[in-house]
Structure 1
Amino acid sequence: MIENVLKRKRIVSNLILESVITCPECSFAKKETMPTDSCRFFYECTNCKTVLKPKEGDCCVYCSYGSVPCPPIQKNKKCC
C-alpha cells in the first residue's frame, strides 16, 4: 500500500514532483509534473490562456502558483 502512495505522489529522493498550479485569473487548477533539471519561468493556463510568470521574489511558476515548491527549493537550494 505504501508503494502505491509513493507512486501517486511521484516522490523521488524525498522530492515531490507533482504540483497543482492554480491560475490567478480564472482559478483553473491543473496537476503538473515539475522538471528536476530546469526551471519553469512561464506557464500558459489551459483554461483561459493567461501566461503566468513568477511573482517577485519567487524563482518559478511552481513556487508562485503551485501547491508544492519546485525541486531545488525543496532541497533548500537556490532555484535556477
Structure 2
Amino acid sequence: MILESTITCPHCGFQATETMPTDACQYFYECKGCSTLLRPKPGHCCVFCSFGSIPCPPIQIDGGQGGGCCPAG
C-alpha cells in the first residue's frame, strides 16, 4: 500500500506530497500555494481520490471496485 500522494490544486496548480490517513477520510485540504480549501469532487469522499496522484488506502485495498472510497462508519 502506498501512503503518500501528491495533491495538485485545481486552482493554482501547486503540488504537495502528503501522507494519507489510513483510518479516516480527509474531507478538506488547504492548498499550500493559494490557500484554497479543497473538497472532494462529487462521488468521492476524500481529497486524495479527487486531487491526489495515488488514491486513498481503502481504494488501493479494494482495487478501485466497490461502493465508496472509504468504509462506512
Establish whether TM, by shorter chain, passes 0.5. yes
Deviation string 1:13-65 (CA, Å, 9 cap, x unpaired) is xx100000000000000000001111100000011000000000112000000
Which sections of structure 1, spanning at least 5 residues, go unmatched?
1-14
Which sections of structure 2, spanning at least 5 residues, go unmatched?
none
Q: Provide runs of 4+ in structure 1 moved above 4 Å.
A: none
The structure with higher relative contact order (CA 8 Å, sep 6+) is 2
Q: Which residue of 2 aligns with 1:47?
A: 33
Map residues 1-80 of structure 1 onto 2, 5 A cutoff: 15-76=1-62, 78=68, 79-80=70-71
Equivalent pairs, count? 66
Query: Percent of counterpart pairs with the same letter?
Result: 62
| Higher helix proportion (structure 1 or 2) | 1
Q: TM-score when scaled to structure 2?
A: 0.86
